[in-house]
Chains A and B, each alone.
Chain A
């Protein structure tokens, strides 16, 4: 008898730690009419920006509901092709094969550049190095250059700082700077690159360590750190990142951020995209550390 009760209790304990079936979303307020609901999905780089826009827009237009999810640029575009979202966010341009697939599905993706993202390379203010070429930065991060003296600085070891591998910025930096945008180039980060979990960690270390080199989104760099001027190659001019140099294309480590709609947008989606290109929405772009395409 005792044993039976004991077993029952243990079984109960076991059952209670099994995950409860997730309650369906039926408890949400009744679905608003289709016209005022915008489904927005895609790039994780843009997800914070898209959320900030959505929040502000919903304050201005309480009748519109915008749902924003991440998952990556590919996920967003796939959802657009399948017709499950109204707007897909992407930190890269749509690939030709994705466009073909969309056309085959009866969807014509329409592209909007909604903001730009620039990566600044930063060093300690006492570091005499002012400028580097992309090739030099690549060699520093891949471990071919290990001393500041090799790029015109003091005789100090180079401490390389990077974001963690799950950061979109890390991947972008790997592909566009370390691999110089070459597809078949398989160069990796040097093994002793410090992988810091946050932008703040990188900025802190660069601020107090004259050996360090780091990179971060332009908007995150505080004015007391030194930003490096970068040239595409040895013959090109060295350019400092700014809203102007990013927008005229002369700063080499910058990319456009996109939104795609299925066919020319209409109704609320159209109004929303028009608002995104307004100076109020573009101010949010600047606040979040991206480069606005319309200077507010």
Chain B
């Protein structure tokens, strides 16, 4: 009896360990695949072309700067929308809303997160972009701002869900202690609960931003896909072309092994490095705050 149990246990532990390691293995494999397919670009396309401002691959113009600026501007816009709204909603659900309200709101927000992005893209084309064009008197409603609004909407459920979990995990005694010291409800939230849940909230923000930068379908449908380099904040209200939309739109027709194919993989590599940088920064910040807190406690 005991023998079989330990044997089973051994197997289960191994299996769990392998699944754990598999994540690392997959990331490394993907990274090497991207390197293998993307790096030939550096030999085939001169750097001056690669970092130029014209993207027109069928005539040999491979400037990725407009695509980079497009992705950054849409993602920044989405983050500016998703972070305050997402964290605000999370605070309301976790700290302020009565129990029954919370039981309705949380599943609803998570349901919103399950909306297919293509559906949001349709809404964007048919409703949001004509509305924004008339409202803001723009030449066209297919702009970076339209994309940012929709991506913000896509990122909010992720931010809310994770941030709310983090706030919920803050021990009750923290709040009780703050209130007992005479802090108001708002002071408790702002000075005690939110800082205590900081690492979870930061994770929520990073995952939300990650969701926004990697989103493809919605962006391709509503941002107009014009590869123009953004040189002023006004670019938020003009059409842009993102890296993800470029890969999605062009990968299907490109000949395997051609220069264009390698450049598309190179763009994928750049995207990969950007999200890696975002994640590393986030965990570095979380790690630093944690060690400082530990130092104070000890």
Contact = CB atoms under 8 A, between A and B. Distances in A.
B130 A209 contact: yes
A195 B130 contact: no
B25 A13 contact: yes
Interface stretch (A2-10, A90-98, A129-137): A2-10
Interface in B139-157: 139-142
B228 A204 contact: no
Contacts of A14: 25, 29
A194 B56 CA distance: 13
B3 interface: no
Contacts of A204: 125-126
A250 interface: no
Specify which of B53, B56, B220, B226 lies most central, judged by the most chain A CB atoms within 10 Å of its CB. B226
B58 interface: yes
Contacts of A212: 140
Interface string A162-203: 001110000100000000000000001101111111000100
A197 B225 contact: yes
Given A13-B22, A166-B252, A192 B225 contact: no
B139 A157 contact: yes
Contacts of A196: 224-225
Nearest to A170: B58
Contacts of B225: 164, 194-197
B59 interface: yes
A194 B250 contact: no
Contacts of B239: 192, 194
B221 interface: yes
Interface string B5-41: 0000000001001100110011001000000000000
Interface string A14-33: 10010000000000000000
B29 A208 contact: no
A139 interface: no
Contacts of A193: 226
Contacts of A73: none
B34 to A, nearest CB: 15
B57 A165 contact: yes
Given A13-B18, A205-B125, A205-B142, 14 more contacts: A5-B14, A13-B22, A14-B25, A156-B139, A166-B253, A171-B58, A191-B54, A191-B66, A191-B226, A195-B226, A197-B225, A204-B126, A205-B140, A208-B141
